[in-house]
Structure 1
Amino acid sequence: MADSLSPECTPLKKTYDSCFNAWFEGYLEPVASSTTDAQRIAHYQQKAKEFEDKCGKVYAEYQSCIQSAVKQKGIEPLLQQAREEHPLLAPPPPAVHPSKD
């Protein structure tokens, strides 16, 4: 795992990265194919709550640290310019893969 933008944020980044990786490993565990749509939705809602409970606080602390570092380093105007020039209005559509018949 790489260091953070600012050295004082690196411990928070490493703590968050470890928390996220542990949570994501469990998130990737497959949901049984025999479950209903409602059960799958409930499962992923539970995973989202689990993330917030386990990693949400350290994520917020890390984001706050990074936002301060961005301001201190004078990067904020560059980020704003990039957002204006290339706004993320919607996610890109999924790639279409030709079928292999």
Structure 2
Amino acid sequence: MGQSMSSIAPECNESKKAYDNCFSQWYEKFLKGESLENECKDLFDTYKTCVQSAMLKNHNVHKNLEDAREQAPFENGGKHRETD
């Protein structure tokens, strides 16, 4: 397997790496029809909690997300919405 990307929150890199490794192994089993159950749910939940916590600590992330939601470029053909 190739290298995985770093987390958006550096403090979550280890939990992301653990989840990515688990998912890669599970996906191979899934493709072979050997597993349908999400075997990595607990690791994903740990990673998600870490990212959410990091976002709460970093108020700039929230502002950037809100700005992006207001712009909604994906809903407007990739273009920023016109502001009044």
Q: Same fold (TM over 0.5)?
A: yes
Whose relative contact order is higher, 1 or 2, with alpha carbons under 8 Å and at least 6 apart?
1
- What is the TM-score when the length of structure 1 is the normalising length? 0.56
Q: Distance between the aligned counterparts of 1:24 and 1:84, measured in 2?
A: 36
- What's 1:73 paired with? 58
Query: Shift of the alpha carbon at 1:83?
Result: 3.0
Q: Which has the larger radius of gyration?
A: 1
- What's 1:85 paired with? 71
RMSD: 2.6
How many residues align? The count is 71
Identity of aligned residues (%): 35
Unpaired stretches in structure 2, ≥5 consecutive residues: 76-84
CA displacement 1:20-76 (0-9 Å, x = unmatched) = 1111112223x6xxxxxxxxxxx9xx61xx21xx21111011011111112222201
- What is the TM-score when the length of structure 2 is the normalising length? 0.65
